[in-house]
Amino acid sequence: MPTTPASDTGPEPLDRVDLATRQPADLAGVAAADLARTAATVAGELLAPPASMRLGDVVPAPELVTPDAAADFTLPEDAVIRVAAAPAARDVAEQLAELLRPATGYPLPVTDSAPAHPNAPLMLTLSAAAQQGSESWQETAPGGAEIFQDLAPGGGEGYRLDVSGVGVRIIAGTAAGLFYGVQTLRQLLPAAVESATPVAERWVVPGGTIVDRPRFAYRGAMLDVARHFFPVEDVLRVIDHLARYKLNHLHLHLTDDQGWRIAIDAWPRLTEVGGTTEVGGGPGGWYTKDDYRRIVRHAARRHVTVVPEIDLPGHTNAALVAYPELAPGKVAPPPYTGTEVGFSYVDPTDERAYDFVADVLGEVAALTPGPWLHIGGDEAFKVKGEAYTGFIERAQELVAATGKTVIGWHQLAPAAHADGRVLQWWGTNGDDPVTAEAVRRGARLILSPAKHAYLDMKYTPDTPIGHDWAGLIDVRTAYDWDPAAHLADVPAEAVLGVEAPLWTESVTSLAEIEFMLFPRLPALAELGWSPPTTHDWEGFRARLAEHGPRWSAAGTTYHRSPEVPWPAEPTIPAPRSPRRTKTRQ
């Protein structure tokens, strides 16, 4: 685990433990502590190396960066995180403290009272009030005032971060904006900030101003918990990964042929029977309603919306095993633990199917505070033509009856438009007239092009897990496409955002999830957040390189792609081989 970033060529960092032992033994109490703090601060100011990070070294790239090399800030041991404003800001401040305390070992109290000394250099201020502190924006950051007006309260996820010699200040119109400012600050500190235990380091932040906001409203990733089941703790960690790259949606693929993963009170056998299988014959598993609520709460605190998917009418073998009455001919199929697709479906000619859909969607909607319900709709090869569109139209109505807005894979396109509906496009050919027509009828799109955004594709032919049916996706392929211009005859305004799906036929552990996510998830995150003017492969891979030591410090597995100029550090072992790999034909 690195204690200093490889790029830090400044003087040796001062060891704060040494500093502490410099306290004279015969002085006690408050006076001694004050003296030690003053000494540490003075020494810190004199010996502070330049910041190891540059202000623009952030992924996703910020919209506007105005460095000020004379304004680097060194976080002192007695720093206070001060919150000016709403209670929602207080929780973001607590999260900032939680992320800085382990590596720094500093107490970092959060307070909403005025600083003890008027010009105390030891202060971070979070403010949820957009108006506060905006007086000097035009002078310090050209264009800043205009951007900030877009971020007026209620208006979004943008933030402004100022680093001056005396402190760091983050201002935003919403708690989400403050949260994203905190994620940026985290990346501006040395990589060792990700350590779970105290590290001797100078916590220097590069000086200047960042004014930033997202390009797209929907920025997400999908985790398939159906092909292989993953425990709640793994899902929480994935949410943390999303949040630090400013992704704001987690799509959970909760049901498929190989397993049903969410408890439904009205149909208990869905999990009791349908939850006990997974690809390769493992034990499977499922989330109780309390498990799911825990996931939703963890996500909400990190400004991530959970999007639950109940895949219909195909991908339903596990449900049919549990309830043969839903199956065509009312005959239970055998449980399925392979990786083929397209063979199963609930019988769309039987009214019982719609009772089932209404009950399931009703219970999932009641558990889900976010606005979306995803109904799948992909690869229902045996439900054709009007049987398919008729089923989907009824399912869309059942979603609307829950008060939620429907999302479905782009196979939904031929079905009638439903108010607000969103299609998730996962095609391989950007010329898709059926989807373009659905957009003309009012649909909006989430872009997940399989050739760029499918994180279950291998990086190279040698990648030990994953598929290759959509091609190989190295980091550059994940990065080099434009969501707004990807589909022919679809206007940029119809694109709600982007999502990177991770299907898990061959992914069996958290380490393997992380190996497929990193470093491609940050590429997708940058497409979702950063303005197209910042798009630049050379710049991106240089910024991305700085994240290798961060992932190592945090114990996160990643693929050390040769496309990225990683700083030297111990080799990361590749994840273990999967129990089985079967390539989709």
- Note the residues at the interface with ligand TNX (CB under 6 A): 341, 378-379, 409, 426, 454, 456, 467, 503, 505, 584
303: region left, alpha or beta (phi > 0 left; psi from -120 to 50 alpha) = left
Helices (H), 114-169: 137-140, 144-150
CB of 424 to ligand TNX, least distance (A): 8
Q: Which residue of the set 94, 325, 379, 563 is catalytic?
A: 379
Report the residue count for the chain.
Answer: 585
Mark 349-373 as b/e (b = at least 16 C-beta within 10 Å): eeeebbebbbbbbebbbebbebebb
296 vs 445, beta carbon nearer ligand TNX: 445
Question: What radius of gyration do the chain's Cα atoms show?
Answer: 25
Sign of torsion over alpha carbons 53, 57, 59, 60: positive
CB of 454 to ligand TNX, least distance (A): 6
CB of 503 to ligand TNX, least distance (A): 4
187 vs 463, beta carbon nearer ligand TNX: 463
CB of 426 to ligand TNX, least distance (A): 5
Task: Give the residue carrying structure tokens 């004199």.
Answer: 46
Bond prior to 461 in cis (omega within 30° of 0): no
160 vs 227, beta carbon nearer ligand TNX: 227
219 vs 467, beta carbon nearer ligand TNX: 467
Copy the structure tokens of residue 36: 């030690």
Q: Provide the β-strand partners of residue 125.
A: 82, 169
CB of 224 to ligand TNX, least distance (A): 6
**CA–CA–CA angle 456, 321, 425 (5° rounding):** 30
148 vs 503, beta carbon nearer ligand TNX: 503
Query: With helix as H, strand as E and coil as C, how does 54-113 read?
Result: CCCCCCCCCCEEEECHHHCEECCCCCEEEEECCHHHHHHHHHHHHHHHHHHCCCCCEECC
140 vs 389, beta carbon nearer ligand TNX: 389
**CA–CA–CA angle 239, 241, 247 (5° rounding):** 75
Sign of torsion over alpha carbons 556, 561, 562, 564: negative
CB of 474 to ligand TNX, least distance (A): 17
Active site residue 233: no
109 vs 342, beta carbon nearer ligand TNX: 342
CB of 435 to ligand TNX, least distance (A): 13
Sign of torsion over alpha carbons 354, 357, 360, 361: negative
C-alpha dist (Å) from residue 124 to 175, 209, 244, 270: 16, 14, 19, 50
- The residues that are catalytic are 379
